[in-house]
Structure 1
Amino acid sequence: MAKFCIVLLFIVTQGLAAPYKSSNGCGYDSCNLGKPDKLNVHIVAHTHDDVGWLKTVDQYYYGSRSEICKRGVQYILDSVVAALMENPDRRFIYVEMGFFWRWWNQQSDEMRNIVKQLVNEGRLEFISGGWSMHDEATTHYNSIIDQHSLGAEFLHDTFGECARPKIGWQIDPFGHSREVASLFAQMGFDGLFFGRIDYQDRLFRTPEKKLEMIWKGSANLDRQSWLFTGVLPHGYSAPLSFCYDIMCSDPPIMDDKNLHDYNVPERVEAFIRAAHIQSLAYATNHIIMTMGADFQGQNVNENFKNLDKLIHYVNLEQVNGSNVNIFYSTPSCYLYALNKAKKEWITKTDDFFPYASIPFAYWTGYFTSRPALKRYERYANNILQVTRQLNGFSQMNLRNSIFYLSEAMGIAQHHDAVSGTEKQHVANDYAQRLSDGIDQSMEVINAAYAKLLSKEGQTQLNVPQFLCPYTNISECLPIEGQAKFTLTLWNPTIHSVTIYPRVPVTQEYVIRDPIGNIVPAEYLPISITTKNIPGRTSSAQYQYLFQASLPALGYNTYYFEARANANKIKRRRVKTTFNEACILENEHLSIEFDGQGHLKHIVNLDKNLMVSFTAQGFYWYASFPGDPTTPELPASGAYVFRPFVSEAVPVSLSGSINCTKTDTVQKASIVFNDWVSQEFSLFRGATSVELEWTVGPIPIHDNIGKEIIIRYNTNINSGSKYYTDANGREVLERIRDHRPTWPYLVDERISGNYYPINSRIWIRDNDHQLTILTDRSEGGGSMYDGSIEIMVHRRILHDDSMGVGEALNETAYGTGLVVSGKHILLVERPEDSARLHRVGAQQLFMHPLATYSLPNTPSYANYSNIYRQSWSALSDTMPLNVHLLTFDQLTHKQYLVRVEHYFELNEDEIYSQSVTMDLQTLFKSIGTIANMTELVLNANLPLSQLHRLDWMTKDQESSHMNIFQSYSSNGTTLTLYPMQIRTFQITIN
């Protein structure tokens, strides 16, 4: 069944080239705009279906594991369709395509035709349309776009224009990113609604009627990033006492006057009162009421039957002078009514982080929760993008096999997935899905390499490639003891890169580069810390480290051949010192440590610029365990970060330091204790410092949960300001103990100043900037002037009572989970820093993918005669400020391509300028571009057909702009402006 579903989806995706049709029976034309002289109440019937949380996505879909909770999404969708067919006035919205796609694939043709009718009549409306309702704090923009494109493609090919979402519906994520608003606007959305907002922010906005606004989602993209945004009145649940779901206990509408429990007058009066109270917080005579909640609707007829009555009896009161007019509606129709009100709206330019639901409950712990899963999600995305590229450039047309990983990635973006706020067995399921998707993608990678590796005129010989996902713990079992193997590195960026692969081995080898030269390589011992990581089974004691310069959008293959007389191999000189002060130095940087492992200085030699460190190392906050006598004071948990005291404790006052210097790299390895260590690496020619950290098993023998941070205390005069990125794109200024939107009352000094760090954080003064790049999403901030702290791991013994019902206590191999990760440190002048941190973050995110093989050739000479060892899709140099975001083969001759300008305005004197490029450059190895159609960001509508609603701000600014004319192309040549992403469907000859 699973393979049939995949093939089915692949077949319908071929329709991307089909004409885009519109219908008058859906969309804004089908909206009830109410009565101009009444208070119009838009009733929105909905369900919020987490694609995994307390149960796995499949368990939720089928309704299994009822001992956890009795929820089954298949029954909800069955019930909704039946209820909508009973009454043409009823409407319902649905969001999570990860569930709807499962349900759709199990329906008969008759049922599918019924659903299509409901969609075409605007009675079943798809809102947001992503595979999941994604998290906004820990997701990367690449994956946000992908998961929305996946859902949008399914909807477009299944239902056409009537199913195109026009509204973002982020009702449950725990804080909201400005970048997401910008991305939604670029997808052609007209608005965004969400349910969660900081309690202080809501208290400030409510009496001022400022719960609805124009959110300026980008500091670079002007009006194309503006998005009308509304905060829902009751989270996303029904008003108090009006929940009619089968799981609710509120009184139904009992309208038989002959029965003792007749309650229509009381219920009508209560509803009218609730509507009037809600209207006090909103600026027009239209208000929205959500009727639904988590997994509601398994018997949706019960909800609709009572709502039918409520609508009837409330509206009858208009003859008695009531001004309340109530009707079934949708978020898009509510938005359209607000637009028609021709009101001037307030604006917002910052974001909605951090989020506190009540005093002392800052949901900032999940910025770091489950750090291993957060890293695995990034790794899986790296493989997904590489697989798409290999499929496209080899023209294998195997997109259906890539769907497995695309779908798993779509689920992983859910706000209880990559966020780390799910139960442990669900986290395991997310990881398993990613792993299964990666395994399927290897079929594509192997098929592509069989073609790309084979030299012209040679019979294609498939040398199976395989991944070694455990090289982060210096383990690659398939190559251990082999006489020969190859390492192929695919560079997914459009710029050449230099990297330093590390290959764990059990013997010594000669390494040959793509033209047969022997590669100078370091043969270095694997650290004791790494060898002691639980679960490591490798017998490798050493690893090779060498410099690899890779072509843009292409690969190099390196050939490893064991040497018979290994003891006669002349090794490169290695100098090692123990527990002595040392200085790591190359052409650009100097890094000084004392004999106890304390980082003292980083000097930028090119700029004669020094940053001194008063402290650098690991600290831990004791997790607040909660207090049964004061349940309003939450414990620290999967969601909430709440330290017991506001001062962090160092894991050790000193460490043992081991400094190693070779021709390729200089390293300082520092061990603080038996569960925390770090290693600084400075490579030849590098302008940044690489720091690898290893934390765990976090000890809990003292019954104290611990939140582990890395702190960098410097002499930079940063004041209270620091800077963090949003979803890997634009950077926002943060000010300690401050909110730009309202007068902030400090109730949690530490967690209230934590923000998501998706790729980078920095502090600066007039002359110095210290930037830290991260390899996954983490939480952090600046608690003191001149300081950066980043939380890297958490092990907590109590639940925070926010719903997951489980302590965040990850274990593996019978002990606490060990996690390793990477930070990149950059020291620069503020005006020169953008080039390093922009390029560095992109290369860290889109890292070259390493695959290994065991060739069946007798010698290197034989191998080199048969196989092409270096290849690039590009023959021209591409602009440094351009990034290839998506390269996806849709059909044999059609491709989906996204290119972006990834610098911001005024960041860099050179690279913040607009740039012109020719897309034909990407297709030189494939064919000639015959046709290009520019699409909206999620690729479900030609940009020329996009017509967004216009809004007016209180500053007399109009949101109107002609997007298509602003970004017209000339043939295959196009211009990109700072932070702009352009999406094209391309047909080649």
Structure 2
Amino acid sequence: MHVSTYCGWILIIVTISFASPTKPSTGCGYTACNLGDPTKLNVHIVSHTHDDVGWLKTIDQYYYGSRNNIQHAGVQYILDSVIRALDENADRRFIYVEIAFFWRWWNEQTDAMRNKVREFVNDGRLEFISGGWCMNDEAATHYNSIIDQHSLGAEFLRDQFGECGRPKIGWQVDPFGHSRDQGSLLAQMGFDGLFQGRVDYQDWQTRNRTKTMEMVWKTSTNLGNQSWLFTAILRDEYSPPDGLCFDDSCSDPPIMDDPRLHDYNVPERVQAFIQASRDQAAGYATNHIISPMGADFHYENANEWFKNLDKLIKYVNLEQANGSNVNTFYSTPSCYLYALNKAGRTWTTKTDDFFPYADRPHGFWTGYFTSRPALKLYERHSNNILQITRQLNAFSNSQLRDSIFVLSEAMGVVQHHDAVSGTEKQEVAFDYAQRLSVGIDNAIRVINKAFDKLLPKDTQPAPGPQFLCQVTNISECLPIQDQTRFTLTLWNPTVHPVLQHYRVPVTRSYTVRDPTGQPILSELIPVSNATKKIPGRTSTAGNQLIFRANLPALGFNTYLFEAKTTEENQEPKVKITQNAECILENQNIRVEIDAQGNLQHIVNLRKSVDVSFSSQGFYWYQGFAGNNSHPEFQASGAYVFRPLTQTAEPVSQTRTVTCIKALSVQIAVIIFNDWASQEISLYDEAQHVEVEWTIGPIPVNDNIGKEIIIRYDTDIQSQAKYYTDANGREVLERIRDYRPTWNYTILEPVSGNYYPINSRIWIKDQNRQFTVLTDRSEGGASLHDGSVEIMLHRRLLYDDDLGVSEALNESAFGEGLVVRGRHSLVVDASATSARIHRVSAQNMYMHPLAVYSLTQQTFANYSAAYRLTWSALTDVLPLNVHLLTLDQLGSKDYLIRVEHYFEMNEDDTYSHPVTIDLQSILKSIGTITNTVELTLGGNLPLAELQRLNWVTSDKESSHATDHKEPSLNDTSVRLTPMQIRTFQVTVA
């Protein structure tokens, strides 16, 4: 096993073998489960701790138990204590979830302790549930990162514990609402079931009344039975029954079982548990119920918990002699699930998701869909760098996976449901961002090593260092702004050629040469005043140099910039007008903006589709400033979105417009006030309109918290319907003021209709569709027919009393935080729009990476020494195929995920199955000599997967059409719509 160190931690690098490191045991898995007594009410006691990977304290502080004045929690002590308690009684069971913490603890243990823990795992006494690096958020996460964080944990567990360490059950007990694609991904990872803790209180009441707390969740409209996942909702989130908490942090009485004592309380404690069990059973369908015994950071003194549970189990079961029908025992979620599977009954089904989530009247947790928008974008940006770094490492054979691990681990942490969600304290948010920054620094070193191999010709020395400019979104790149010569290399991570107009902030004019040495069209566009005054911007660049890059698939182009002399400085003329009608038009689209800066029309010229706008711009809701004492006084905060009124106010009654016309781009710069502006851009040949928005510093000197939205009001007759994506994958239909699975009582007409938007939202009528693509996760709705609104930024002055005890009031450079982002607008015929928005959404989340380098060489000298263009592909791959993962595992071994990213019936051409050759992707690396298909998590050969079978109320079987992919005789892979296939390949 390869071992290296980072920041004082022992980093165990995973191996690529599927062999178990320990002797197989028959003590783990379903066959070792206690299924109880068929004549009794069987209560499965599940001992657990829920350990947030950062929230009120940082992950480091939680692990070590520091700063307990904020929250008493020390995960290292929890794990120490639990292992001792398990060693004392072989009947005891415990589950653990967050591998980010367990990995740290494991690296500190002796071999003797590790072997003891392996024994517990092999005997089923310690079980890993979910097995991801964290318990990820489900609203603000992208499917690429959900897969990665689960794979990171699963890989560690496979290599340390073998098959007995492989998670089979999802345990998403704390995320604030549940995504259908999260369930689909877990099913594709081979999970048999999923447990949830939080569902809408109205949904919970209906299910509890109708005994439908457990169901078969049909999580995909594309993948059929293989995506079905048995799903159970816990009784009370994930806490013990009232009055039966036996942790240091609880005040409930312990079980005092000496009858000679005055405080003897066994009868009272036993009857309390029996009554709680019977009350719970009234809402469930079988004679099995699950009773979670634990909560946030419980079991630091595991002896206290287990000693009382030992007594509780003993005395409850003794009551059977007196006629009690309650039978209780230590169990795990997987054993409880197995008991349900063996109950021989059918189950109701569900096809929608569990958004939005409200825990009480007026308490809709829809604000976190947008909270901390800068962190949400940084997470998405970091994932882009991570995937490209893996590709570069693979194609250059640099074998630096241990260096990439630092960013992988940081990304795993940030998927936590109090991280990318934006529901953490400000200090913790800074810590998450710092971890991503450190990870990116390590990735840059890998990127440099890769380009040191990919760029030089023959035996030429490596070029100068490559570097990122990560704030070009505010037109700043200090290292190049005054340089005479520099290079820009753009790496395209997709398997399709990409046309992109790229902007470089500069202080002078340059000649830009493409890889053939030809000067290409480049134009200077002035940086807007709204950009120049962004707090923290130190660049003196007054212009952006815009040029068009035609990038090869899965490869790079290098462009050389040479400063022009005065004589050469013949710039193409750019026409600028102020406060006059502004018509933006290219070969595909016309955008009409009037002299007052109002967007009036977007016309798809090729399809003759015209969408009219009655209004478009920025509005704000006043955040409710309640004291949280009762539901009607619920405040708007980091979690909850609760506007004071149902009407959003415009940020300004007037606006100014500057119209910029160049050959490669046409721009309308629209200023609403000194803290809200947008730039509407139309690039040459583009099929979508780009809206770059800038919000902040949001003023709060009037003591009013504000929630800023952008709204697009169109003439589309949308009939109360709108459509949002789930984690960047499948799309769900939303209907205003409606829930598919219960009779919904409307209490919050605005926030109750907000849903997470990970990549796109659209409305449509019979002939037209209007789509908005986002560059990060945001919350949005359609509150009126023809209208789409998306929340961009939030600055609030009150806490919503859900634990953070801190208002969501982000600041930077001594004032309110400024946030900038992008939307892409697509207008098309409703029957044909999928192609544009699917491809555009993929390109927004996996866009080319720009690295710069300083040079003094002329183009002739530079091109003689270095390659200026390169592609890993020689064959053109179909447009509906995406390379999701390319990760070098060892010198000859690679993990590769490919996906079909169109849904069924979306497009006449691209919604059909497609066949590709894996060899075409790896041709530059070597010849594939062995291929093993794995589950989505990459931790089990697909041929070895055996999932439990479930039968629905309409007699459908989850195994009826479930099938294994045929063994690969060659490297051809068939993909059906929305299918992801994962392979470990060996090359020669």
Amino acid at match of 2:278: H
Which is further off, 586-595 or 963-972?
Answer: 963-972
Residue in structure 1 matched with residue 657 of structure 2 by the alignment:
657
> How far off is 1:23 after superposition?
3.4
Residue in structure 1 matched with residue 482 of structure 2 by the alignment:
481
Which is further off, 885-894 or 314-323?
Answer: 314-323
Contact 2:887 2:895 in 1 (8 A): yes
TM alignment of 1:710-789, pairs within 5 A: 710-789=710-789
Amino acid at match of 2:212: K
TM alignment of 1:475-874, pairs within 5 A: 475-563=476-564, 565-566=565-566, 568-627=568-627, 630=630, 633-855=633-855, 857-874=856-873
Q: Pick the aligned partner of 2:78 from 41, 59, 76.
A: 76
1:547 is paired with a residue of what secondary structure? strand
Residue in structure 1 matched with residue 972 of structure 2 by the alignment:
973
Determine the C-alpha separation between the residues in 2 that align with 1:641 and 1:29.
46
2:368 is paired with a residue of what secondary structure? helix
Determine the C-alpha separation between the residues in 1 that align with 2:920 and 2:125.
46
Determine the C-alpha separation between the residues in 2 that align with 1:16 and 1:891.
14
1:251 matched to 2:250? The reply is no
1:647 is paired with a residue of what secondary structure? coil
Q: Deviations over 1:503-550 (max 9, x none)?
A: 111222111111101111011111111010000011111110000000
Unaligned 5+ segments in structure 2 are: none
1:220 is paired with a residue of what secondary structure? coil
Contact 1:23 1:161 in 2 (8 A): no
Amino acid at match of 1:363: W
Contact 1:491 1:552 in 2 (8 A): yes
> How far off is 1:653 after superposition?
2.1
> How far off is 1:627 after superposition?
3.7
Which is further off, 921-930 or 965-974?
Answer: 965-974
TM alignment of 1:408-423, pairs within 5 A: 408-423=410-425
Contact 1:969 1:975 in 2 (8 A): no
Determine the C-alpha separation between the residues in 1 that align with 2:654 and 2:596.
5
1:77 is paired with a residue of what secondary structure? helix
Residue in structure 2 matched with residue 377 of structure 1 by the alignment:
379
TM alignment of 1:25-36, pairs within 5 A: 25-36=27-38
Contact 2:579 2:597 in 1 (8 A): yes
Determine the C-alpha separation between the residues in 2 that align with 1:929 and 1:961.
34
Determine the C-alpha separation between the residues in 2 that align with 1:925 and 1:600.
50
TM alignment of 1:291-330, pairs within 5 A: 291-330=293-332
Amino acid at match of 1:824: S
> How far off is 1:862 after superposition?
0.9
Amino acid at match of 1:667: I
1:832 is paired with a residue of what secondary structure? coil
192 and 247 in structure 1: CA distance in 2 versus 1, 3 angstrom threshold: same
Determine the C-alpha separation between the residues in 2 that align with 1:90 and 1:819.
51
Contact 2:942 2:964 in 1 (8 A): no
Determine the C-alpha separation between the residues in 2 that align with 1:227 and 1:858.
59
TM alignment of 1:348-497, pairs within 5 A: 348-455=350-457, 457-497=458-498
Residue in structure 1 matched with residue 150 of structure 2 by the alignment:
148
Amino acid at match of 2:51: D
Contact 2:798 2:806 in 1 (8 A): yes
Determine the C-alpha separation between the residues in 2 that align with 1:18 and 1:887.
25
Q: Pick the aligned partner of 1:237 from 236, 239, 249.
A: 239
1:59 is paired with a residue of what secondary structure? helix
Q: Deviations over 1:124-171 (max 9, x none)?
A: 000000000000000000000000000000000111110000000000
TM-score, length basis structure 2: 0.99
597 and 17 in structure 1: CA distance in 2 versus 1, 3 angstrom threshold: farther
- Percent of aligned pairs with the same residue? 65
Which is further off, 626-635 or 570-579?
Answer: 626-635
> How far off is 1:631 after superposition?
6.0
> How far off is 1:383 after superposition?
0.1
1:831 is paired with a residue of what secondary structure? coil
> How far off is 1:654 after superposition?
2.5
Contact 1:905 1:912 in 2 (8 A): yes
Determine the C-alpha separation between the residues in 2 that align with 1:170 and 1:12.
25
Determine the C-alpha separation between the residues in 1 that align with 2:76 and 2:8.
19
> How far off is 1:608 after superposition?
1.1
Contact 2:20 2:158 in 1 (8 A): no
Alignment length (residue pairs): 986
1:134 is paired with a residue of what secondary structure? coil
Amino acid at match of 2:909: I
> How far off is 1:887 after superposition?
0.3
432 and 628 in structure 1: CA distance in 2 versus 1, 3 angstrom threshold: closer
1:341 is paired with a residue of what secondary structure? coil
Contact 2:12 2:107 in 1 (8 A): no
Determine the C-alpha separation between the residues in 1 that align with 2:389 and 2:102.
26
2:381 is paired with a residue of what secondary structure? helix
21 and 387 in structure 1: CA distance in 2 versus 1, 3 angstrom threshold: farther
1:312 is paired with a residue of what secondary structure? helix
Determine the C-alpha separation between the residues in 1 that align with 2:132 and 2:779.
25
1:389 is paired with a residue of what secondary structure? helix
> How far off is 1:5 after superposition?
8.3
> How far off is 1:286 after superposition?
0.2
TM alignment of 1:892-903, pairs within 5 A: 892-903=891-902
Residue in structure 2 matched with residue 260 of structure 1 by the alignment:
262
639 and 927 in structure 1: CA distance in 2 versus 1, 3 angstrom threshold: same
Residue in structure 2 matched with residue 53 of structure 1 by the alignment:
55
Determine the C-alpha separation between the residues in 1 that align with 2:336 and 2:46.
9
Determine the C-alpha separation between the residues in 1 that align with 2:635 and 2:6.
47
1:708 is paired with a residue of what secondary structure? strand
208 and 688 in structure 1: CA distance in 2 versus 1, 3 angstrom threshold: same
Contact 1:534 1:813 in 2 (8 A): yes
Residue in structure 1 matched with residue 925 of structure 2 by the alignment:
926
Determine the C-alpha separation between the residues in 2 that align with 1:397 and 1:486.
26
Which is further off, 335-344 or 502-511?
Answer: 502-511
Contact 2:21 2:162 in 1 (8 A): no
> How far off is 1:965 after superposition?
3.4
Determine the C-alpha separation between the residues in 2 that align with 1:699 and 1:86.
59
Residue in structure 1 matched with residue 68 of structure 2 by the alignment:
66
Residue in structure 1 matched with residue 159 of structure 2 by the alignment:
157
Contact 1:934 1:984 in 2 (8 A): yes
622 and 879 in structure 1: CA distance in 2 versus 1, 3 angstrom threshold: same
Residue in structure 1 matched with residue 955 of structure 2 by the alignment:
956
Amino acid at match of 1:921: S
> How far off is 1:592 after superposition?
0.3
Residue in structure 2 matched with residue 278 of structure 1 by the alignment:
280
> How far off is 1:819 after superposition?
0.2
Determine the C-alpha separation between the residues in 2 that align with 1:968 and 1:749.
52
2:560 is paired with a residue of what secondary structure? strand
1:841 is paired with a residue of what secondary structure? helix
2:672 is paired with a residue of what secondary structure? strand
568 and 929 in structure 1: CA distance in 2 versus 1, 3 angstrom threshold: closer
Contact 2:475 2:527 in 1 (8 A): yes
1:916 matched to 2:915? The reply is yes
300 and 10 in structure 1: CA distance in 2 versus 1, 3 angstrom threshold: closer
Contact 1:339 1:949 in 2 (8 A): yes
Residue in structure 2 matched with residue 289 of structure 1 by the alignment:
291
Determine the C-alpha separation between the residues in 1 that align with 2:826 and 2:883.
24
Contact 2:596 2:655 in 1 (8 A): yes
